[in-house]
Structure 1
Amino acid sequence: MEARAKRGMTASTQGLRKAITLRYAVALYVSSVLGSGVLVLPGLAAQLAGPASLLAWVLLSIVSYPFAYTFASLSARKPEAGGIYSFTKESFGVRVATVTGWLFALWFVTGGPAVMLIAASYVAYAFPMSRAETFVVAGGIIFSVFVVNYRGIVMSNKVQLAVVVSIVALLLATVISSSYLVRLENLEPFLPNGLLPIGVCAALIFWSFLGYENVSNVAEEFSDPKKDFHRSILLSVALVSGLYVAVAFVTVGTLSYKSGGSVAPFAAILSNVLGVYGAIGTAILAVFIIFGTANAYMTGM
């Protein structure tokens, strides 16, 4: 029976296309980690700890690499479609692995719609709409994710890469165009509330660095897992960490976090690029980011 099960598993996975190359792997990693928190958390963290919140971003950027590298190494060593399930099964047995797999699936089923509503709320922030219309927009986003994944891994890869390039371009444009408004005197006092808020900030933004484990679920679809997992994780951690720290620095350096609200700081920063259309730009960026995250996790299911 065990031999038959193994043969069945082999038959079910041998049709997987080895379509994930280095650039697509980076796109999956970036979109799995870089969520809507990049629009909200830099402002919230700065409100808690002031300029010292930058230390929390830098610290977590550094410690995220060992976490990410662990999953990348496991996937490169044993590139299976099971990902986290396979790792847990090998370490703790079938029962624990089954629970882990169901928890991962439950997160997407319950968290996915909630995240789509966040994206829709950003759209409603720019284009006033009713509650029902907000739900329709959220449904449209999640439906588009299903359509893209239904077309297969090749289509999903191409869409994911385009979305990530757009996200990175918009974030970089925002940071670069706002850099002339950064004032070093805005970094003083550096510790307005002491050291304790730095730890609170770290706990708050910790969740922004989770997601590297998701790509392990598509390890079997890597064209060269032994090489591309290690290269892509280096590039991805550097890119994600760099974007987080850059947005946080501009948020603090321009005092945008004092504009009020959790969404307002990034909208204020983006206004440096788009003027009065800053809210619209924020909505577009939010939809891109959340679509990319949902598509990455759907690909990994």
Structure 2
Amino acid sequence: MSHMATVDDEDAGEGTNRDGETPTTVADQTAAVTEETTVTEEGSELERSIGLVGGLSIGVGTMIGAGIFVFPGLAAGRAGPAAAGSFAIGAVIALLVALPASELATAMPKSGGGYYYYVSRALGTLPGAVVGISIWLGLVFATAFYLVGFGNYAAAVLAEAGVPVGGVPVVVPLGLVFGVALTALNLFGTENAAKLQNYVVGLLLTILVVFLGYGGLDAVGVFGRSTTPESFLPFGPVPVFTTAALVFTSYLGFAQVATVAGDIKRPGRNLPLAMVGSVLLVGVLYVATIFVATSAFGSARLAGFGETAIVEVARNFGGRFGAIAILLAGLLATVSSANASVLSTSRAIFAVSKDAIVPRGASRVNLRYGTPHVALAMAGGPVLVLVATGEVAVLAEVASFLHLVMYGLICVALLAMRRDEPSWYDPDFRVPAHRLVGGAGAVASFGLILFMQPLSQIVGLAIMVVSAVWYAYYAADVTLEVA
């Protein structure tokens, strides 16, 4: 089977299936022409409607949602104040992957990100197919995790407003309802979803800067308040790494920028800036959050507050007003995370469908709104099933497992592309010291998987095995084409 076939740029990215059929081209379809792209019923292209601010909003908004508003209590319970180190480890790994992903993305700015060109075009059809299907399901797990977080915050808002919800299981229903709403929003246009992301992240960052600024001054004693004395490593060094494996879900946002590369304007400039910039900004916010939170309460007490621990930290600083403000921020954060994930999940499905790894009908684009409506349905349906489980930690770690596999292979793909340098490979951004960066990124990504709990590892491996079986059954004869 041929894994790398060269074709004209105009037709690049289409897969040929087992019957030797090639997806219908633009010329063969009824086209709806916009100013920037041609959108066809079969999904040949998506409109480039997201700028640098939108790309940063997708990355920052996705990452802030989990790391600040869901994980502080869980992370402090596992690693104590050293949970700040866990987030720092996650940031370093994310940067080691963001740089190779930025180079590959500027050479191949296509929707579907890590699968669509990077792994499959560098390493072959089977690795690409396994990663493509796995990352679709990994994003599904991540989206479900964010929606469960939204349900927790929405329930807390109702309780703060005096609405009696004690003993009533409202978290899962609220997450389900909002999951349906976000899927519908993305159906009616990528630009609508991007605008929502920009507004939400702007307001969210404003609230967080005020909160962390005040909390940081309080933690160092400017306001004369005493902090909780505690050993930095109360449980030893190993929990720092196991906690890093748990919270790495918080850093999935930069890669989600790559999954919507086909929607981004001026990708050669905006993709690297959005991916690297979002990791740097959010990494600083995470470390500051854990410092502030563990200074306000001891690790054990913070862990007792669960998924809404940061709300109690805000209440400690600003009373009921502080709690309400951070609850609002938590709602905004989980909204932005879930919204960006729904968008990215549909683009991952769009990519594997375009390559005929899954039925090509999944890459059909709605002619009126220019969105992949079939892919959105395939994203939203499994998400709702997982939301119903409500298992926060497992959802987070399985999502991290599948993404870490992809991240490691992205680093390997960079090394392969630089080694072979095919004629069509002409990135606008090149990673300095690419062997060192790519090698370190691959080792760190694969290595972090070893610190996950066994259940998450089993589920992640099972998904990859099922993906390989599907490839062997349905797509073994696919020949990938490159530009």
Give TM-score, length-normalised by structure 2: 0.56
Establish whether residue 125 from structure 1 lines up as the match of residue 150 from structure 2.
Answer: no
Q: Give 1:7's match in structure 2, choosing from 22, 25, 28.
A: 25
How many residues are treated as equivalent by the alignment? 301
Displacement after TM superposition at 1:131 (Å): 4.1
Determine the C-alpha separation between the residues in 1 that align with 2:50 and 2:237: 43
1:269–1:256 CA distance, 2 compared to 1 (3 A): farther
> More helix by proportion, 1 or 2?
1
Displacement of 1:145: 0.8
Decide whether aligned partners of structure 1 residues 264 and 139 sit closer, same or farther in structure 2, where only a CA change above 3 A counts. Answer: closer
Where does residue 476 of structure 2 map in the other structure? none
Deviations 1:236-264 (A, max 9, x none): 11211111111111112223643433245
2:55 to 3, 21, 25: 25
- CA positional deviation for 1:142: 1.4
Q: Distance in 2 between matches of 1:133 and 1:265?
A: 19
* Residue 208 of structure 2 is aligned to residue 164 of structure 1: no
Q: Deviations over 1:72-115 (max 9, x none)?
A: 22111101123222223213433443333333333444554454
Separation (CA, whole Å) in 2 of partners of 1:187 and 1:268: 18
Query: Hey, what does 2:241 align to over in structure 1?
Result: 199
For 1:295, give the aligned amino acid: N
1:285 aligns to what? 329
What's the CA shift for 1:162? Answer: 0.7
Give the direction of change, closer, same or farther, for the CA distance of 1:38–1:238 in structure 2 (3 Å limit). same
In the TM superposition, residue 229 of structure 1 has moved relative to its aligned partner by 1.2
Look up the SS of the partner of 1:44 in the other structure.
Answer: helix
Q: Structure 2: which amino acid aligns with 1:104?
A: I
Gaps of 5+ in 1: none
More displaced, 227-236 or 201-210? 201-210
The letter for the 1-side match of 2:84 is: L
In the TM superposition, what is the alpha-carbon distance from 1:273 to its structure 2 partner?
5.7
Q: CA deviation at 1:287?
A: 2.4
Is 1:182 aligned with 2:219? yes
* Root-mean-square deviation (Å): 2.9
TM-aligned CA distance change 1:252 to 1:267, over 3 Å: same
**Which residue of 1 is the match for residue 341 of structure 2?**
297
How far apart, CA to CA, are the structure 1 residues paired with 2:91 and 2:149?
Answer: 25
1:97 aligns with 128
Pick which of 247-256 and 270-279 moved more: 270-279
Partner of 2:81: 51
Percent of aligned pairs with the same amino acid: 25
Whether the 8 Å contact between 1:49 and 1:192 is mirrored in structure 2 is yes
Counterpart-to-counterpart distance in 2, 1:68 and 1:283: 31
Q: Does 1:151 align with 2:188?
A: yes
Distance across 1 between alignment mates of 2:238 and 2:170: 42
- Give 1:106's aligned residue: 137
Q: Is residue 81–residue 233 contact of structure 2 (8 Å, CA) maintained in 1?
A: yes
**Larger RCO, structure (CA 8 Å, separation 6 or more):** 1
Deviation at 1:284, TM superposition (A): 2.8
> 1:84 is matched with which residue?
114
Q: Which runs of 4+ in 1 moved over 6 A?
A: none
Q: Show the counterpart of 2:254.
A: 212
Q: Which moved more, 1:83-92 or 1:232-241?
A: 83-92
Q: Please, which of 285, 290, 293 is the counterpart of residue 251 of structure 1?
A: 293
Structure showing greater Rg: 2
Deviation at 1:228, TM superposition (A): 0.8
Sort the Cα spacing of 1:190 and 1:84 in 2 relative to 1 into closer, same or farther, 3 A.
closer
> Hey, what does 1:62 align to over in structure 2?
92
1:222-243 per-residue CA deviation (whole Å, 9 max, x = no partner) reads 1101111122223211211111
Question: Which region of structure 1 is more displaced relative to structure 2, 273-282 or 28-37?
Answer: 273-282
* 8 Å contact from structure 2 (residues 257, 274) kept in 1: no
Identify the range of structure 1 (254-263 vs 156-165) with the bigger mean alpha-carbon deviation. Answer: 254-263
Structure 2 counterpart of 1:51, one-letter code: P
Contact 1:18 1:220 in 2 (8 A): yes
The one-letter amino acid paired with 2:234 is P
Q: 1:39–1:266: 8 Å Cα contact kept in structure 2? A: yes
Using a 3 Å threshold, how does the CA distance of structure 1 residues 131 and 80 change in structure 2: closer, same or farther?
A: same
Work out which of the residue numbers 266, 278, 285 in structure 1 matches 2:310: 266
**Separation in 1 of the partners of 2:326 and 2:141?**
25
1:17-63 residue CA offsets vs partner (Å, 9 max, x unmatched): 22111111100111233332322423333333333333333233233
With normalisation by structure 1, the TM-score equals 0.85
Structure 1 residues 73 and 33: CA distance shift in structure 2, 3 A: farther
From the superposition, tell whether residues 192 and 100 of structure 1 become closer, same or farther in structure 2 (CA, over 3 Å). closer
**Equivalent pair of 2:98/2:275 in contact (CA under 8 Å):** yes
1:37 aligns with 2:74: no
One-letter code of the match for 1:98? A
